[in-house]
Amino acid sequence: MDLGIRSRVALVTGASAGLGKAVALALATEGVKLAIAARRESELRDVATRAKELGAHDARPFVADLSAPAAIDALLAGVRDAYGSIDILVANSGGPKPGTFTQMDLHDWDAGYGGVLRSMVQLIEGVVPSMRAQKWGRIVALTSSSVKQPIPTLVLSNAFRTALVSALKTLSMEIAADGVTVNAIATGRIETDRLRKLYDGDERKMQEAARADIPIGRNAMPEEFAPLVAFLCGEPARYVTGQTIAIDGGLIKSLF
């Protein structure tokens, strides 16, 4: 399917590995001008090279630590200097510190807010005005299954990713008439470094949990996640907005 976004400018954050990398490469096959951001420059350069091989109109790495507000401003300015206005934003951040409510202190809550909620809001706030002005834009935030079904050992994710989804839903209603769609993905268990860290690197334990909890019986690979995100960034998805879509192999037990 041609998604109709050739030469559109797409910014993907957290794109040096895992989900962000997979999404960036999926968009590359659609011929976008790709800006990829993360902290690890070497890995970003590798992703940019691969993106060009897959058909990206162009691909450039932008080193940025999204936990620093000034770095987000610099990132947005750098992408605009390179390509002009940003048409597509895939907002992706690392997961917050794991743990239960009683294991967290106020410093942990402040860090979780900055890394998971504030950084994403700042990114989105930075692209909305130009999207509205040009009457076209796509915003997709990568969140977690915790926004639909809280995870007992991930209280910060439960709180701040849910807050982000609520803000995105509100935003989607404000700007839908301007041709800008806003959606979120509730990711299930995807085989990334983050998931492995949550299982302390115990591969056997991670796979046993997948077989026990996920109806499909396994964790997903990032490449199985990316095509739906790319679709939401495309022209055929112009009537899809304000949604939080689960990619979870049936893990979430709720109806919606």
Which tens digit of pLDDT belongs to each residue from 176-212? 999 999 999 999 888 877 778 878 888 888 888 889 8
Q: At residue 233, does pLDDT exceed 80?
A: yes
Query: According to the model, what pLDDT value does residue 210 have?
Result: 85
Cβ(15)–Cβ(38) below 8 Å: yes
Q: At residue 13, does pLDDT exceed 80?
A: yes
Tell me the β-bridge partners of 140: 90, 183
Q: Give mean pLDDT, residues 131-158.
A: 96
Helix spans in the chain (H): 18-28, 41-54, 69-83, 106-112, 119-134, 155-175, 193-198, 203-213, 222-232
Element (H, E) at 89: strand 88-91
Query: According to the model, what pLDDT value does residue 189 have?
Result: 87
Cβ(57)–Cβ(49) below 8 Å: no
CA distance 167 to 144: 15
Which tens digit of pLDDT belongs to each residue from 40-69? 999 999 999 999 999 999 999 999 999 899
Strands 58-63 and 88-91: unpaired
Distances (CA, A) of 67 to 56, 96, 115, 122, 196: 28, 11, 5, 11, 22
Which tens digit of pLDDT belongs to each residue from 95-126? 899 999 999 999 999 999 999 999 999 999 99
Residue with token string 């993907």: 12
Average pLDDT, the chain: 94
Q: At residue 4, does pLDDT exceed 80?
A: yes
CA distance 25 to 206: 26
Structure tokens at 108: 């942990």
CA distance 136 to 130: 9
CA distance 52 to 47: 9
**Domains of the chain from N-terminus onward:** 9-191+226-241 (3.40.50.720)
Nearest residue to 35 (alpha-carbon basis) of 48, 49, 46, 18: 48
Question: How remote is the C-alpha of 70 from its chain's centroid?
Answer: 20
